[in-house]
Amino acid sequence: MTPDSAHTGAMAMLDSTLAALADPTRRRVIDLLRERPRRAGALAAALRMSAPAVSRHLRVLRAGKLIEESHPDNDARQRIYRLLPEPFDDLQNWLSQIQEFWTGQFDALKAYAEPDQAAP
């Protein structure tokens, strides 16, 4: 994999993460899953939404690789959802790069606006 293709792949994953997080209901699902893994029915109850509506949101979050689905050993019909850390780590790294850029810009502006007063 070349550096350009790795960057393109990383940006595609970031795009997928941001697209999945664009919806307020999906962000609420993420908040609920931050507390603990949950069954789909528990998510629907907490969100006060129908099971099919929650299922559509879960599908988008799974496609974006923000969550994973597992099945308890004793009942394959039950689905338990939990967060995956990688997309959030990638998002945080990207946001840190943006923050570093702006910190540098503001530092340069400050240096320009407040020239050294020591010179006569």
| Domain range annotation of the chain | 3-84
At 30-79, the pLDDT tens digits run 999 999 999 999 999 999 999 999 999 999 999 999 999 998 777 777 88
Q: So what's the pLDDT on residue 5?
A: 55
- How would DSSP label each residue in 79-110? -EEEE-SHHHHHHHHHHHHHHHHHHHHHHHHH
CA angle, 44 then 46 then 49, to 5°: 40
**Domain covering 3-84 in this structure, CATH number:** 1.10.10.10
Q: What beta strand segments (E) does 1-120 contain?
A: 38-39, 67-70, 80-83
Alpha-carbon gap, residue 57 to 88, rounded angstroms: 18
Alpha-carbon gap, residue 40 to 69, rounded angstroms: 10
pTM of the model: 0.71
